Structure 1
Amino acid sequence: MQRPIPVLMYHHVSPKPGLVTVSPENFRAHMAWLAEHGWRSLTAAEFAACLAGAPVPKRAVLITFDDGYLDNWVYAHPVLAEFGLHAVLFLITGWIGEGEVRAHAGQGQPVPDVPDHKGAMAAGRAWQDAADPVPLDGAFLRWSEVHAMRDAGTFEFHSHTHSHTRWDKTIADQDARDRALSDDLAASRATLAARLGNGSAHLCWPQGYYDAAYQRVAQAAGFRHLYTTEAGVARGDTDPARIPRIVVKDKPAGWFASRLRLYGNPLTAALYLGLKGRK
């Protein structure tokens, strides 16, 4: 039986509780557990190679983040640096700001206030509607912080589209919808290439939504690895166009350890996911 690769899905690491948010204390406990138990955090390229048939390292995990919130820099980055771990962050490339690097929690100085999930997404929508980048600055990353995390090796960056728009909800005509999605994805790849020198072949769907047309447009745009919010673990036979992930909850290390032991074992992962699929 093929060795599974749990693909962990985070959004916020923040002291403000809320939707898709893990506290800094619990996030540190999760990362400490991985490091202490010999788990290897893969790069996107290593993960892609495993899906293409390369041997899967023992205790391999892919750590992913969605959207690109300021709290990823303030609270997640210093923890990843502390434990020598690496994560993949899917950026909404049109929502990333400009300016100098702000303080993070590993520097022993006051850090910027970060909004909760509702506040961050409201800022993003307001910015998009008004074409004014100012409201985003306190909610999302700056490119200077993206560069700092990349240079530190804590994060690498891929696409979560340019605008985070659900085109299936916005445009009724299929051809017009396909063109809008294609333009959105092209803008995202072009932005990543211009800012980071990497157009990226990895795409995470906003809100986890996709259909056959979405997949077709994404693949035509150059994306080869498409990440979902569907539950499961990746293996060598996983379809790269439909990569499952595991939602990480705001719970302590004991819960996290039980999930990794479950999903990291070929037999228990297959049995558990089989039972979930029959419910």
Structure 2
Amino acid sequence: MIFSTTRRWPFLQLVTAAGPKAKLSILNYHRVHPVIDPINPGEIDAERFTWQMELVANNFNVLTVGEAADLLAEGKLPDRSLCITFDDGYADNVEVALPILKQFSLRATFFIATGFLDGGRMWNDTVIESVRNFPAGYLDLSDQQLGQYQLDSWQDRHNAYSAIIREIKHLPQEKRQSLVDWVASRVPDGIDSGDLMMRSDQVRELHQSGMEIGGHTVTHPILSTIPDEQANHEIAEGKKQLEAITGGPVTVFAYPNGKPVQDYLPKHTDMVRKQGFKAAVSTEWGVSTTATDPYQLHRFTPWDNTPAKFMLRLIKNYV
């Protein structure tokens, strides 16, 4: 059975609680492509994001992360509470996602890594765009122990960039960037990826539109792989730069990559708290309750490609 994207699911009120027993779902997005990206066909595009937001608007009480954290702490969270979050600071969040959010009168929280604003590009996107632009045929990166790949289809390219990213993700920053630069240098005609990341004026536009802006460090390091002093600086400086751009307080934070123990440690949650943030989110899948550490709120990515699957996943969170 296919459910209309405009349909309300009234029985949700019968299976969800409010107050001290309430549960909070936090959706985690990165990019929202205008159309399906052939190298990443599973990623969210405007069409899918539109019906997801329509379902969310019709069935859930949508809060920013800061609002939800306050209500959780007070034991006053509404039933069917849900947050919409975006990580990293991609320009399509403003150009594609923001008009859709406005269409359904929804607010969201945008966690932005400030070092890539105004013309920057994250290392993983350099890998993706390099593999996108390599000529068809055989790609040999074995000189740097990064494997060999046949690039005859978009699926081949997806598999290749995914393997490269897995191989280098947790390397020290300097070593990782050196390998990324080497991969990019192998592209015969260079990389043309446009302006992937937001400009500072787009961050201000989000803020002025009533969206919540959250910290996500400066250069998006995996905090567990860098010295404590550097980690503390990344957390503090990202907050400072965003507050300078928006003119408002930045009180929520998202850990880069976000897996507890693997990507950040208890000492990093302490750093976040001491820098004046009131809550933080991880990428640990699940829902949050009054028992959840407010500096480790759970999130999940809504990959579901039909309205029914999307809604059933969300319903499962609350029962």
> Which bracket does the TM-score occupy, shorter chain normalised?
0.7 to 0.9
2:112 pairs with 1:91: yes
Percent sequence identity is 28
- 1:26 alignment counterpart: 48
Is the CA contact (8 Å cut-off) linking 2:23 and 2:79 kept in structure 1?
Answer: no
- 1:156 alignment counterpart: 212
SS of corresponding position for 1:66: strand
Query: How large is the RMSD of aligned CA atoms in angstroms?
Result: 2.8
Is the CA contact (8 Å cut-off) linking 2:223 and 2:268 kept in structure 1?
Answer: no
1:210-235 per-residue CA deviation (whole Å, 9 max, x = no partner) reads 11222222222223312111111111
* Runs (5+) with no aligned partner, structure 1: 99-114, 130-134, 172-176, 269-279
Is the CA contact (8 Å cut-off) linking 2:232 and 2:271 kept in structure 1?
Answer: yes
2:231 pairs with 1:181: yes
SS of corresponding position for 1:29: helix
Aligned positions of 1:42-57 closer than 5 A: 42-57=63-78
Match of 1:76 among 97, 103, 120: 97
- 2:314 alignment counterpart: 260
**4+ runs deviating over 3 angstroms:** 117-123
- 1:118 alignment counterpart: 125
- 1:207 alignment counterpart: 257
C-alpha distance in 1 between matches for 2:237 and 2:128: 20
TM norm structure 2: 0.66
C-alpha distance in 2 between matches for 1:149 and 1:217: 26
2:192 pairs with 1:138: no
Is the CA contact (8 Å cut-off) linking 2:215 and 2:254 kept in structure 1?
Answer: yes
* Runs (5+) with no aligned partner, structure 2: 1-16, 131-176, 182-191
Question: Partner letter of residue 28 of structure 1?
Answer: T
Structure showing the higher helix proportion among its residues: 1
Distance 1:244 1:118, change over 3 A: same
The offset of 1:60, in angstroms, is 1.5
Match of 1:166 among 222, 230, 237: 222
Question: Partner letter of residue 159 of structure 1?
Answer: G
C-alpha distance in 2 between matches for 1:207 and 1:43: 20
Distance 1:250 1:35, change over 3 A: same
